[in-house]
Structure 1
Amino acid sequence: MRFDPQPASYRPDPAILPLAPWLGDPVEAATFPRHDLRFRNDRWARAVGLAELSDAAWVDHFGRFAPLSDNLPQPLALRYHGHQFRVYNPEIGDGRGFLFAQLRDGDDRLLDLGTKGSGRTPWSRTADGRLTLKGAVREILATEMLEALGVYTSKTFSVVETGEELVRGDEPSPTRSAVMTRLSHGHIRIGTFQRLLVLEERDHTQRLVDYCLEHFPGPTPPEDAPDRDNPAVRLLHQVVERLADLAASWMVAGFVHGVLNTDNMNISGESFDYGPWRFLPKWEPGFTAAYFDQQGLYAFARQPEAVQWNLGQLAIALRPLCDAKPLVAALDRFGPLYTAALAKRWCWRLGVAPRGEDADARLVSACERAMREDGSQPDAFFHRHRGGRNANDELAEALQGYAAVEDEAEYWSDDRPETMVIEEVERIWAAIDRHDDWTALTGKIAAIRRMGAAHGEPPVPVGHIRRDRT
């Protein structure tokens, strides 16, 4: 079953400091008129030794951003470039966030505390560097739901309402403001490497590769992989494996990220930075989350393609460090790794033991057809057919020979599953916005965590960086 993260003492480790002169810019947090603590993730604060902070101390660190002891002396706005909807943009970077602290968990993994909505930076351009409270609430809901569904995701660590009135063109204004802190396993993006390529900073690229291999450790490439001992090749193999699994996990969760630009792809394989995300109302391959994605570039079924394209950009950025052939060999692994991860995760969510590549592929196809034909919402489909129950016709035939996993959780006897479709998100936000009523949010978080416990541990590739398993 899924356990709470292992408690640990506070262990600061600002490992990024040697890279900071060329990787980021020291910045100051904005001064806010108010600091109302709205959410603190004590479940994950225990994992990094911060759960014992009083609310006043918590707000001091995660609302006013007083430095944590022996940690980064000043926040760093990280520098990166990126392809945004396949158009290269060298004018981006942390425009409303920064790296605040780095620390170790109980398994000695290096974790980052980063912000969103903490004020202007050298990369803000014309933006105000702020975050709406609704955006923060949406990120809480996204990360909690994804974690429960087995997705390797950043964790929303803290939300503090800041008392400003923000004007936004895509939602009713003025609207309430907040500053959010997320806990994640690093903030090194594909776009970080792209920036170094454009600036022809080969030595810095090599140092960043070494940093990633040290702090995001993973498996060695297959024995037949060409030039497998080259650090750049080794890193690309690891990132291909992680992002193939990430793409599969989104598909099994019925999740649409919405903005899969190269600056939103993390080298650690973590899903993060939730803007216009949606969960599917029904199994619709062409469903898009972002209203501005007019061409459907990041539609639900195109997410694996988008991730693979982004990995190609990482390979190009690593090209100064090695020949093309071993990088191409690493990229060629994406398809088989994705297919294998999808099958394993699908069986896990359905509550049956995998039988093998061919049978599992047939099962996935049969489930997809069943959802398309009857218009099932994915959460309802997986809940109704947990352990292979309630199946008929083609689905029943595809499930023949599959053994159900042991399920003792009462959740599977509920009449309805937990969902996170847009109507529920809006209902939770409306209670906060109109009546300052946070009970719907806190109740939903508890219900989602109960669902996560019922699902248990998801399958992950050997050597994958994990923060949600103890």
Structure 2
Amino acid sequence: MPFSHAFHPATDHTRLGKLFYDAVEPASFPAHILRYRNNRAAATVGMDTLTDEEWIDHFGRFTPLPGSLPHPLALRYHGHQFRQYNPDLGDGRGFLFAQLRDDKGRLLDLGTKGSGRTPWSRGGDGRLTLKGGVREILAASMLEALGVETSRALSLIETGENLERHDEPSPTRSAVLVRLSHSHIRIGTFQRLAANAETDAIGQLVAYVLETYYPQLGVPAEGEAALTLFKAVCQNVARVGAQWMAAGFVHGVLNTDNIAITGESFDYGPWRFLPRFDQNFTAAYFDQTGLYSYGRQPGALLWNLARLAECLLEFCSHEALTGALSDFPELYETALDAAWCRRLGVMQENPEADRAFRHAVTLFMETSGIPFHCLPFDWYGGGISAQRALASDRAHFYNDPSFSDARKALEARRPLPGLSLDHPYFAGGVPCNMLITTVEDLWTSLNDRNDWQALDRKLAEIDLMADALGTRESLSD
């Protein structure tokens, strides 16, 4: 038996019935070259013991996992894309391959990208570029290390096809990706049912999501299920959005089909990390109006949640849903205070003090132009890092009078328990970053020189940062 004792297959999604998905066949690829396997993530679901050939069989040829889904399922959904409603969506180049329970009993999805055409491909080829797969690995790894609740890239297999793409040099190499996430149900799943007047199915989906992904909420009182779910989704989306902001992350495509019902961050296309604190920074070249720019991400999330509320009007009043939506700004601001304290390695104090602390630090970052990833590294833990920060290559930023308020705020804070600046990550003096220049240089190494050790080195650097920050342990609690 190739699986460990932690392997617990599941088929929960099939309980929803065929209204929610289509059984599909995966593509056949001319080659299967294993480029990445995430053994740390695989261990949580009992698959780290697979041989490379077994791994390729399941995640390149998509031989079903024993006890899980007998066929891949292309999920059905609609969505607003840049605020234009599109009923012709659904899994067009991916599917739900399997479901498993992790070592904490949580249901996890194995979803794919680049696994072939489905009924929802809309004329696309159902494929993924190798570069796109590498970018998803980098985004998910970096976000997880920075404490963001994110899907994880599990596998990347190069597939030996040459793809034509209008937005990058072609022909380009192809790949198939598998990600591990808590759910692929999204706001757009509800939108499809609402558009088709499938009211009973919406009620079924509400009950399923509460039972499956929010068991801690218990059984709501009669007539309260939809509102209970909506409030929980608002809270989770606010928290993850705040985590993006503290990480300096710009998702790029905050359409309703990219917002998971668990709030978990996923689906990384034209993402970017901020070079500097810039509210107007955009990730996607096609986002001409800056709709999904860094500073407009919270508003985009709120707009998407309003679309979910519209789907639930048959189950609770407009006033109740509007009231829950009105709580979002404060939920987000509170989560943002917590996210910035965590990013800077300091203890929270009280709401008023935490907000003043966050404003002092981010105002300096925005007005000074210091590289976004540098101040959280230099001043990690607050005042205990003062000597290290003032000896760094960024000391001229911190010796400027404009830093006075931020320095006072940082030096007044207590470090997180157990924080140690003796970690090799801090001793190196250079913060880990994932700027677009870093990504492009890495891709050049992979594509032009076939140097896959370059990816290993970058992921090892990210792992070192994650170990120093203790973020993966806190996310798994």
Is the structural similarity TM-score above 0.5? yes
Question: Which amino acid in structure 1 is aligned with residue 308 of structure 2?
Answer: L
Q: Choose from 161, 164, 177 the match for 1:180.
A: 177
**SS of match in other structure, 2:17:** helix
How much has 1:335 moved relative to structure 2? 1.1
Q: Which runs of 5+ in 1 are unaligned?
A: 1-6, 461-467
Map of 2:405 onto structure 1 = 394
Distance 2:95 2:137 in 1: 19
> Which segment drifts farther, 114-123 or 332-341?
332-341
CA–CA distance in 2 between the matches of 1:372 and 1:203?
49
Say if 2:213 is the partner of 1:216. yes
**Deviation of 1:360 (Å):** 1.4
Partner Cα separation in structure 2 for residue 20 and residue 256 of structure 1: 35
Distance 1:200 1:256, change over 3 A: same
CA contact (8 A) 1:97 1:118 kept: yes
Shift of 1:372: 2.0
Q: What residue in structure 2 maps to residue 362 of structure 1?
A: 356
SS in 1 for 2:109: strand
CA RMSD between the two structures = 1.7
Deviations 1:19-65 (A, max 9, x none): 23100111100111000011111101110011111111110110010
Amino acid paired to 2:444: A
Look up the equivalent residue of 2:415 and give its one-letter code.
Answer: A
From the superposition, tell whether residues 101 and 251 of structure 1 become closer, same or farther in structure 2 (CA, over 3 Å).
same
Residue 375 of structure 2 corresponds to which residue in structure 1?
Answer: 381
Moved over 3 A (4+): 218-221, 457-460
Question: Is the 1:348–1:459 Cα contact (8 Å) retained in structure 2?
Answer: no
Q: Equivalent of 1:295, from 289, 297, 303? A: 289
Matches within 5 A, 1:209-358: 209-217=206-214, 220=217, 230-358=224-352
Residue 220 (structure 1) shift: 4.1
Question: Aligned equivalents of 2:360 and 2:57: distance in 1?
Answer: 53
SS at match of 1:320: coil
1:404 and 2:411 correspond: no
**Structure 1 residue 171 corresponds to structure 2 residue 182:** no
Structure 1 length normalisation: TM-score?
Answer: 0.93
Q: Tell me, in whole angstroms, the C-alpha distance in 2 between the residues paired with 1:220 and 1:211.
A: 13
Distance 1:66 1:159 in 2: 16
Give the conservation status (yes or no) of the 8 Å contact 2:22–2:73: yes
- Distance in 1 separating the partners of 2:88 and 2:228: 29
Q: Distance in 1 between matches of 2:5 and 2:455?
A: 27
Partner of 2:113: 116
Matched, 1:71 2:68: yes
Q: How big is the shift at 1:414?
A: 2.1
SS in structure 1 of the partner of residue 381 of structure 2:
helix
- Offset from partner CA, 1:6-30 (integer Å, 9 cap, x none): x852111101112231001111001
Match of 1:378, SS state, is: coil
Equivalent residue of 2:12, what SS?
Answer: coil
Q: Does 1:22 align with 2:19?
A: yes
Change in Cα spacing, 1:249 to 1:315, as seen in structure 2 (3 Å) is same
Q: Which has the higher contact order (CA 8 A, sep 6+)?
A: 1
**Structure-2 change in CA distance of 1:170 and 1:382 (3 Å):** same
For 1:393, the aligned partner's letter is S
Report the alpha carbon displacement of residue 398 of structure 1 after superposing the two structures with TM: 2.6
Q: Distance in 1 between matches of 2:5 and 2:327?
A: 36
Deviations for 1:149-201, whole angstroms, at most 9, x for unmatched residues? 00000000000000000000000000000000000001100000000001011
Letter in 2 for 1:357: P
- Range 345-354 or range 228-237, more displaced: 228-237
Does residue 425 in structure 1 map to residue 422 in structure 2? Answer: no
Deviation of the 1:386 alpha carbon: 1.3
- Farther-moved stretch of structure 1 (228-237 vs 279-288): 228-237
Q: Which residue of 2 aligns with 1:59?
A: 56
- Residues 458 and 286 (structure 1), Cα distance of their counterparts in 2 relative to 1, 3 Å cut: farther
Q: Aligned pair in 2 of structure 1 residues 280, 229: CA closer, same or farther (>3 Å)?
A: same
> 1:397 Cα shift?
2.7
1:407 Cα deviation from its structure 2 partner: 2.2
Distance (whole Å) between structure 1 residues aligned to residue 464 and residue 314 of structure 2: 48
Secondary structure in 1 matching 2:245: helix
Identity across matched positions, percent = 51
* Partners of 1:228 and 1:326 within 8 A in 2: no
Aligned partners of 2:263, 2:96: CA distance in 1, in Å? 18
Q: 1:337 to 1:218 in 2, by over 3 A?
A: farther
Can you give the 5+ residue segments of structure 2 that lack an aligned partner in the other structure?
A: 390-397
Residue number in structure 2 paired with 1:443 = 457
Q: Summarize the alignment of residues 9-48 of structure 1 with structure 2, pairs less than 5 Å apart.
A: 9-48=6-45
User: What is the letter of the counterpart of residue 378 of structure 2?
Assistant: R
Is the CA contact (8 Å cut-off) linking 1:8 and 1:46 kept in structure 2? no
1:289-343 deviation digits (Å, cap 9, x = unpaired):
0000000000001001000110010011111122222222221221111111111
1:94/1:121 contact within 8 Å kept: yes
Letter matched to residue 265 of structure 2? S
